[in-house]
Amino acid sequence: MKNPLTKFTTLIFMLLSFSVFAQKSDTLFVAFWNLENFFDTVDDPNKNDEEFLPTGDKEWTKERLDIKENHHAKVIRSMNNGEGPDLLGVCEVEHQSVLDSMISKYLDDKNYKVAYLESPDNRGIDNGLIYDSNKFKVLSVIGDTVHLSDDWPTRLILNVNLLMNNDDTLIVYVNHWPSRRGGEEKSEPNRVSAAETLRKSVDKDFENNPEAKIIIIGDFNDEPGNNSILYTLNANPVFCDSLPLGEEFNSLSQLFNVSYKAYNDGLGTYKYRDDWNLLDQIMVSGDLLKGNDIKYVCNSYEVYKPNTMVTHSGNYKGAPFPTYGGKRYLGGYSDHYPATAKFLVEEYNK
């Protein structure tokens, strides 16, 4: 017969082992926002930024820049129930310095840092990633060049590899695809080129690891049902309530557009005349739909509309409140609403 003390010691060991390796859950809040012409006030001789100078058509002064920084920071801080996002992709930023300035003046308590590269875009508007440095360490920052048929320079696709606190590697792509200027149909080949560039990089990630954890965010200037996203990028529509369970769901090396339900419901992030367009989207690799360590929270994709940035009257009622209406200064925020999503992260206490 075993000694009762031995049984007690064994029980204590089991409890201690459980506490050492017990799981705890955390939420990863991811967002994307087109910041609408987030320019500094200094002339860059290598870029077409004359419109956004104190002497330019928009009379873009330091005072107006400071108001925009403050407005952006208030919206960012309000996300995630007032906690702010853990990852925020942004576009239409002239230089990293305006993001750094906004963070240092209005978000200095958030431990945010910026991953950023200057792109060849003629206007100098770039993509960036603001991240919580308490949760992430940057492993690499790469810019994928999109080659258009007419050789017109456009934004880099920002590729950021991050190491999370649970030792998982997360790959984030921040996008701002070519606009619809000249018409949607005429300009479509440019967005197809961007989709081809992104898909090529994603396929390399999958070659290295079919279960790669990938989040793709951006202003795609196309909607989830357009050719560039649905067929060229091959980002599959997904409705969480109809996902098969277990091994029936083959997710390896596939992309899924978690924005699709919102698109199907007629929601949008950008209003053109009377038409809502869901241009700002979030897509994930299959492992983030069925993975054990990091998993998308079903139907958590949201078009984020804080009351302060909604136009409440007039012809543009319901649309985002922008900084300018044509050349007229309005003192608003952006002409796009942010897009947000949540992920559940399983961690182990060690």
Residue 240, amino acid: C
Residue 102 lies in a domain: yes
Can you give the pLDDT at residue 240?
77
Can you give the pLDDT at residue 244?
52
Can you give the pLDDT at residue 291?
77
Provide the CATH number for the domain around residue 105: 3.60.10.10
Can you give the pLDDT at residue 242?
58
Pick out the chain residues at pLDDT < 50: 1-22, 245-247, 348-350
Residue 47 lies in a domain: yes
Residue 222 lies in a domain: yes
Taking only the tens place, the pLDDT of each residue in 70-80 is 999 999 999 99
Domain that holds residue 334: 23-348
Can you give the pLDDT at residue 78?
98
Residue 11 lies in a domain: no
Taking only the tens place, the pLDDT of each residue in 259-288 is 999 999 999 999 998 899 999 999 999 999
Q: pTM above 0.75? A: yes
Can you give the pLDDT at residue 308?
96
Residue 9 lies in a domain: no
**Number of separate domains in the chain:** 1
Residue 160 lies in a domain: yes
Q: Report the alpha-carbon angle 215-170-113, nearest 5.
A: 95
